[in-house]
With several copies, the nearest count.
Chain A
Amino acid sequence: MRVDLSTAVGALTLANPVMAASGTFGYGLDLLDLCPPECLGAVVTKGLSPAPRAGNPTPRIVETAAGMINAIGLQNIGVEAFCQEAAGELARRGATVIVNVFGERPEQYRAVIERCERAEGIAGYELNVSCPNVDHGGMEFGHDPHQLEALTALCRAATSKSLWVKLSPNAPDLVGTAHAAVAGGADALTLINTLRAMAIDPYRRRPVLATAFGGLSGPAIKPIALRMLYEVHCALPTVPLVGIGGIETGSDVVEFLLAGASAVQVGTAIFRHPAAPLRILSELEDFCVAQKVGELRALIGGLRWP
């Protein structure tokens, strides 16, 4: 039996639903030997800002039970370097590229998109709104529906390519921010980003991370991510969703698809196994064969409930 693994996130068709998540796959070219980017549904770049950023001091990562906390602090080479050094090669290889975008001011988001519009082979943008808006006293864009709608609208005006907004699970009102992003013109919503968390070194009596707080990812958060995705799917059943959070196996992907995701991203699993997205994809195909699912799209939103 042949399985049609293709899917679509809004107007964007993907050869398969498994992407590499932002911040866990570099700029798409680091693992050519272990996980070629053109084999994935898409690659989402490390978050890009207009200028390069050095990120946070170390330690930046700490392992937790079935998870890890990171406080990389959005270190990146800047959009200019990405467009010059990586975008072309990704395009030549035939990879579908989503640029993860962030800034401290709305215009910075816009600036990143504008620069990318002049580069080749970029399929769309994912706005990382889990960053403090310096114009609004550091409150995260993703926490305030009004700011989020305005930010999304600003970015929407800058591109006709796919525009996804990546929701923060720490927002007081998840569904409210989802509505706001859609009102601002988002084509799809990605969820979830990492959950604010902390680890303490009992011997040194200090936070383990240099910044004390960071974001929790990995299998530990999957049950929360799945619930959040399903909640947003129920509230906005026609909006395409991209599921993310602790995906480790093909069967995890099926869970997200059933809950309403049109595609998924794999993050922390890549650190354990650089080829994890490929393994997950083949497990997904095996599942479809075993369960006689001819078209992957038949699974999307297929949860039998209530």
Chain B
Amino acid sequence: MIARRDVPARLVERRELSPTCFSLLLATMERLPAEPGQFGMLSCGQGLDPLLRRPFSVAGVRPLGSGWGVELLVKEVGRGTAWLRRAPLGTILELLAPLGHGFNLEAAASTRAALVAGGIGLPPVLFAAERLAETGAPFDLFLGAATGDELLEIKRCRAAAGAVGGKLVLCTDDGSVGEPGFVTTALARRFAAGQRWERVLACGPDPMLQALARWSVTEGVVAELSLEEPMACGVGVCLGCVVELADGRRVASCKEGPVFEAARLAARWRP
């Protein structure tokens, strides 16, 4: 059975994480049965402006008072996210969740995985990291951003990786914090130096995912990538969010994804 539901979610907490990003804690009556990599469609205004909900990956689910809390990490890029950043606490939002297919955490837990997040790609990766840490499965975490102050939730990342003896590698494009350069380069360099991961779980900007996809296919590593296609419905009925798979099929990424194995996505980055 599909466990998704369209529920009212009260905005109970907001934290600024960086110049552009913030976290939201939404209170729901029941526990959202979300897995890392799954997402929700959230109303980002009242009335008709904006018209459509916006997709956000679930960053965590935890008990909250007598009910439950859903955590999101959001980057302000347009009118919907600007509204979320300013909506008063107490506002009731509409949340349709959990949607789509997330990471294969069982497979990730059975080996040492590399978790890779670029910028606001962190939420599903953080959720995966904290889940793996809870179950005691070892992993390393690569966290990249354009600048140091855009590296989000470093403490939580360090804690999660540390709890299972994993490493946290920080990278910034401007070199202000951690290693200079892309997170994918940092990963590939370590791999070339002999460090091994059988599975990579990643979310981030398209060029990062594309680089990871190429690298993983070349190296024979299974990479699960969380994609961000523009979405209208989030439930597979509008066909706005399709991605082309290696077999030529165009599938709804909100339904078959948003997490796909890189090998299936060959067609997506065809020049």
Chain A positions within 8 Å of B, measured between CB atoms, are 23-26, 30-31, 33-34, 46, 54-55, 58-68, 70, 72, 75, 218-219, 248, 268, 270-275
Determine the distance from Cα of A68 to Cα of B52 in the docked complex, in whole angstroms. Answer: 9
Q: Which residues on A sit within 8 Å (CB–CB) of B2?
A: 33
Once A34-B6, A54-B248, A68-B232 are accepted as A-B contacts, the answer to whether A24 and B237 lie under 8 Å apart by CB is yes
6 more A-B residue pairs beyond the given contacts A30-B236, A270-B233, with a C-beta to C-beta distance below 8 A: A33-B4, A46-B239, A58-B230, A61-B240, A248-B48, A268-B232
Q: Is B235 an interface residue (CB 8 A)?
A: yes
Once A65-B48, A270-B233, A271-B52 are accepted as A-B contacts, the answer to whether A23 and B250 lie under 8 Å apart by CB is no
Chain A proximity of B241: nearest CB distance (Å): 8
Q: Is the CB of A271 within 8 A of B232?
A: yes
Closest A residue to B242 by beta carbon equals A58
Q: Which residues on B sit within 8 Å (CB–CB) of A30?
A: 235-237
Closest A residue to B231 by beta carbon equals A61
Q: Which residues on A sit within 8 Å (CB–CB) of B242?
A: 55, 58, 60, 75
Q: Is the CB of B52 within 8 A of A63?
A: yes
Q: Is B53 an interface residue (CB 8 A)?
A: yes
- Chain B 38-63, CB within 8 Å of chain A: the 1/0 string? 00000100001111110000000000
Once A68-B232, A273-B6, A274-B96 are accepted as A-B contacts, the answer to whether A23 and B51 lie under 8 Å apart by CB is no
CB-CB nearest 8 A-B residue pairs: A61-B240, A271-B233, A26-B237, A271-B232, A66-B48, A72-B239, A60-B240, A61-B232
Determine the distance from Cα of A228 to Cα of B56 in the docked complex, in whole angstroms. Answer: 35
Q: Is the CB of B53 within 8 A of A272?
A: yes
Q: Is the CB of B6 within 8 A of A67?
A: no
Closest A residue to B50 by beta carbon equals A63
Once A65-B49, A68-B52 are accepted as A-B contacts, the answer to whether A274 and B233 lie under 8 Å apart by CB is yes
Q: Is the CB of A271 within 8 A of B250?
A: no
Q: Is the CB of B237 within 8 A of A272?
A: no
Q: Is B238 an interface residue (CB 8 A)?
A: yes
Q: Which residues on B sit within 8 Å (CB–CB) of A72?
A: 238-240
Q: Is the CB of A274 within 8 A of B51?
A: no
Which one of B1, B240, B248 lies within 8 Å of A70 (CB-CB)?
B240
Q: Can you give 11 A-B contacts (C-beta < 8 A)?
A: A24-B237, A24-B238, A26-B237, A31-B235, A33-B1, A54-B248, A60-B240, A61-B241, A64-B51, A68-B51, A219-B48
Determine the distance from Cα of A212 to Cα of B6 in the docked complex, in whole angstroms. Answer: 33
Determine the distance from Cα of A75 to Cα of B1 in the docked complex, in whole angstroms. Answer: 27
Q: Which residues on A sit within 8 Å (CB–CB) of B94?
A: 273
Determine the distance from Cα of A271 to Cα of B233 in the docked complex, in whole angstroms. Answer: 4
Determine the distance from Cα of A62 to Cα of B238 in the docked complex, in whole angstroms. Answer: 12
Which one of A54, A67, A70 lies within 8 Å of B238 (CB-CB)?
A70
Q: Which residues on A sit within 8 Å (CB–CB) of B206?
A: none
Q: Is the CB of A66 within 8 A of B96?
A: no
